Amino acid sequence: MELKIKTFGAARDMMGGKEVVIKINGTNVCDLRKTLVATYPALADLRSLLIAVNQQYAEDSQQLKETDEIALIPPVSGG
């Protein structure tokens, strides 16, 4: 399955663009997360990386479709 991923913050820097297309061999968010770390090892250094599907935070078990809007939300700091 081929997915378009919107990236923000540190994830954008690590992946080299505001939107990337990635091919995964699975069907859920967990499979996507594994593929992302295998393709972009620097993502493993982020303490928490949230994945949103259709503008809602997704659990690893959530099933994906090629038409889903997917975004990577890296940890943010502020004060």
Convert the pLDDT of each residue in 13-31 to its tens digit: 999 999 999 999 999 999 9
Query: Residue 36 above 90 pLDDT?
Result: yes
**β-sheet bridge partners, residue 70:** 5, 53
**What is the total residue count of the chain?**
79
- Which run of H or E residues covers position 38? helix 29-39
pLDDT, position 74: 86
For 37-73, write each residue's pLDDT tens digit: 999 999 999 888 999 999 999 999 999 999 999 999 9
- Cβ atoms of residues 5 and 74 within 8 Å: no
The DSSP letter of residue 74 is -
Both tokens of residue 48? 């928490």
pLDDT of 79 over the 90 cut: no
CA 60 to the chain's CA centroid: 11
Looking at 3.40.50.10470, 1.20.200.10, 3.10.20.30, 1.10.150.120, the CATH number of the domain 2-73 comes to 3.10.20.30
